[in-house]
Structure 1
Amino acid sequence: MRRFVSAIGVLVAAGTLAFAQPAAATQSVAATRAAAPAAEALFEFDYPPAPDRFVVKLTEPDKIQEARDILSGAQRDRTHVLGRIVKRPAPYNPGWQYHLDPTSVSFFTHAIEVCDASPRYVDDHLDEAGGAFLPGLLWCPWGSRLLREVSVE
């Protein structure tokens, strides 16, 4: 019985804290909700120690926010880029013969080795991608780091 009462107390306390937000925080959330979400956003990442930079397009508001949280440091896990390769260039990612399908992009902490490769290696072996190399065209560069949001032109 004592555990049950303690559990109810914890739930009541959590509920009270959730609704007792400072006015500034509430206004900030309201202002964020009032702003129209971006239809798309571009983010650049690298793959150290290689100097290559690669740009991904995000079209889902929750993924865009997740990328921004990674850049701000609010999200410290799931910071590496993962997505499905499309074997044709994209205008927002010059210099590469491929891009990632915007609807497939997500972020991860750990992934299997079979999908790891540098951007240059993928470009150099693009004709092999989808077979034994990057099965299913799934690419998860383990060392990828989001660097910045790129302005959409």
Structure 2
Amino acid sequence: MRAFTTRIGTLAAAAVLALTSAPAAQAGKAGPPAPAAYFEFTDLTRHTFVIQLTDPTRIEEARSLLASGEDKHVMGRIIKRPAPYNARWSYHLNPDTIHFFTYAIEVCDATIPYVEDHLDEVGGAFLPGSHWCPWTSRLVREIPAP
């Protein structure tokens, strides 16, 4: 039964990855890029992590979540290198893959520091496809551009 559950989780993760990759493919078809917005989120460890949003729809959604206090979480695909706006960590999220969710599968859940401590394993059995969806993530605030 455990192997069956693991396989279902892996297939579900692949489906989520396919869905989050579609907006990135469409991004090149638009006009000039919109100005980026930066948001900070935290998780149950109380560490903070900064994301960059470039899609106007996602920016508006993030602002709406902050204003309403709606219980949605952050998900996206990890890039294994630091970003100037998130220099504390050795990784960041690809802005083209960031979405907000209410429920997600367990295979993509991990805390901010756990990802840092196991970054060399990301993309394999740990966070397949480099897809990360911290279940306890919560947007805290919008921050000024660095």
Alignment TM class, shorter chain as reference: 0.7 to 0.9
Task: Kindly state the Cα deviation for residue 38 of structure 1 after the two structures are TM-superposed.
Answer: 5.5
2:70 is aligned with 1:76: yes
Any unmatched runs of 5+ in structure 2?
A: 1-32
2:38 is aligned with 1:42: yes
2:99 is aligned with 1:99: no
Provide the secondary structure at the position in 2 that maps to 1:92.
helix
- Which amino acid letter does the alignment assign opposite residue 70 of structure 2? R
2:118 is aligned with 1:122: no
Separation (CA, whole Å) in 1 of partners of 2:65 and 2:57: 12
Separation (CA, whole Å) in 2 of partners of 1:99 and 1:126: 11
Separation (CA, whole Å) in 2 of partners of 1:38 and 1:92: 17
- Which amino acid letter does the alignment assign opposite residue 53 of structure 1? T
Aligned to 2:12: none
Aligned to 1:7: none
Provide the secondary structure at the position in 2 that maps to 1:141.
coil
Aligned to 2:28: none
RMSD, aligned α-carbons: 1.4
Any unmatched runs of 5+ in structure 1?
A: 1-36
Q: Which has the higher contact order (CA 8 A, sep 6+)?
A: 2
- Which amino acid letter does the alignment assign opposite residue 136 of structure 1? G
Separation (CA, whole Å) in 1 of partners of 2:73 and 2:103: 8
Taking only the aligned residue pairs, the percentage that are identical comes to 59
Task: Kindly state the Cα deviation for residue 94 of structure 1 after the two structures are TM-superposed.
Answer: 1.8
Aligned to 2:136: 143
Separation (CA, whole Å) in 1 of partners of 2:52 and 2:76: 11
The ranges of structure 1 where at least 4 consecutive aligned residues each deviate by more than 4 angstroms after the TM superposition are none
- Which amino acid letter does the alignment assign opposite residue 83 of structure 1? G
Separation (CA, whole Å) in 2 of partners of 1:89 and 1:76: 29
Determine which structure has more spread, i.e. the larger CA radius of gyration. Answer: 1
Separation (CA, whole Å) in 1 of partners of 2:60 and 2:100: 12
- Which amino acid letter does the alignment assign opposite residue 52 of structure 2? K
Structure 1 residues 117-153: Cα deviation after superposition (integer angstroms, max 9, x where no partner): 0010000000000000000000000000000001003
Structure 1 residues 5-44: Cα deviation after superposition (integer angstroms, max 9, x where no partner): xxxxxxxxxxxxxxxxxxxxxxxxxxxxxxxx95110000
TM-score, with structure 1 as normaliser: 0.72
